[in-house]
Structure 1
Amino acid sequence: MADWADRPQPPERGGERETIEGFLDFQRASIVWKARGLSDELAAKPLLASITTVSGIIRHLADVERSWFRTDMDGEVDVPARWTEEDPDGEWRVSAADSLDGIIADYEAACQESRDVAARYDLDDVCRGNGQRFTLRWIELHMTEETARHLGHIDILRELLDGRTGE
């Protein structure tokens, strides 16, 4: 694993937006940091009764990033997603043939798309999609929670897969 200190650190004395986005970017980078070094086969290996895998979590997070920022915040229609009404768990379905590097690259692209959308709005701006229920602040804080929760899952899976631990 790369040095944990290579991840972007949230500011210790930043403003609200800088701090929120700093913590979100730290969690995003931690997802990638925790997954790097696994083989495609191990990243796709299910260890639980569910279909949860390291690769599946990262694909799920890519779809969730696009959904919250592009669909909900920006009001974009027809944003690609792997889940469907017929297969609500589509993004979780991976195999050893799925490249972890490709999955990570897609996740990193989705995170950049989210940053690009967020840059066009103020924290108090209300989203254009999803019934205009949420502000950018809410979405960014929710994504921090969602990403951190799944980072904990990856942390446990990684330890079970190859014994690697770390902050």
Structure 2
Amino acid sequence: MIRTEPAFDGEEREQLSGFLDFLREAVVLKCEGLTDEQARRSLVPSGLTTIAGLVGHLTYVEHYWFEVVLGGRANRWTARLEADRDADFREALTIPLADLVAGYRAQCGTSREIAARLEPATRVSYRDGLVNLRYVLIHLVEETGRHAGHLDLLRELTDGRTGE
């Protein structure tokens, strides 16, 4: 898989979405060729930060920010996260990696559809105030980039594979 480079010169939406898609593709790339066992292997003391767990978490993050916050839809994870605040990481350990990646890709597609209907400055109610699409895109670039870095390290520790 070759990642699509973000536009070097473009409008705000194009560049923010381009960088987010670039990082989303990095997440998928870091999972290529791994077995379910490798993806579930715990390589850090917490035991939660696994390749599978990170994909599960990023799938939830996409759902929450785009479907729930921007789209006004119900949060499918509320009960599970109230019972276990790490449910997105932990439940991913029971799902085949191919299914996790397919679910992540589908969720990213839903996120793109919701974002396409909004202008960057579109505001929606959030907590005790407002949030706009611009904030959500920037936040997802940060969150996805941070976890893509975790995936880089976990992948290298798993099988020695490095690079993009």
TM range (shorter): over 0.9
8 A Cα contact 1:43 1:55, kept in partner: yes
Aligned residue identity for 2:43: L
Partner of 1:141: 138
8 A Cα contact 2:155 2:161, kept in partner: yes
| CA displacement at 1:81 relative to structure 2 | 2.3
Q: Per-residue CA shift, 1:67-114, capped at 9, x if unaligned?
A: 00010011112x32284211010111143x521100000000110110
Are 1:156 and 2:153 counterparts? yes
8 A Cα contact 2:152 2:162, kept in partner: yes
Q: Which has the higher strand share?
A: 2
8 A Cα contact 2:19 2:141, kept in partner: yes
Partner of 1:48: 44
Trace 1:72-111 onto structure 2 (pairs within 5 A). Answer: 72-77=69-74, 79-81=75-77, 83-93=80-90, 94-95=92-93, 98-111=95-108
Aligned residue identity for 1:155: D
8 A Cα contact 2:81 2:88, kept in partner: no
Distance 1:62 1:99 in 2: 14
Are 1:57 and 2:58 counterparts? no
| CA displacement at 1:16 relative to structure 2 | 1.0
| CA displacement at 1:130 relative to structure 2 | 3.9
Q: Secondary structure at the match of 1:84?
A: helix
Distance 1:31 1:127 in 2: 28
Q: Which has the higher helix share?
A: 2
Structure 1, gaps ≥5 residues long? none
Q: RMSD of the alignment, in Å?
A: 1.4
Partner of 2:19: 23
Partner of 2:30: 34
Structure 1 residues 44 and 100 mapped into 2: Cα distance closer, same or farther (>3 Å)? same
Structure 2, gaps ≥5 residues long? none
8 A Cα contact 2:115 2:133, kept in partner: yes
Partner of 2:10: 14
| CA displacement at 1:127 relative to structure 2 | 2.2
Aligned residue identity for 1:13: D
Aligned residue identity for 2:124: C
8 A Cα contact 1:11 1:22, kept in partner: yes
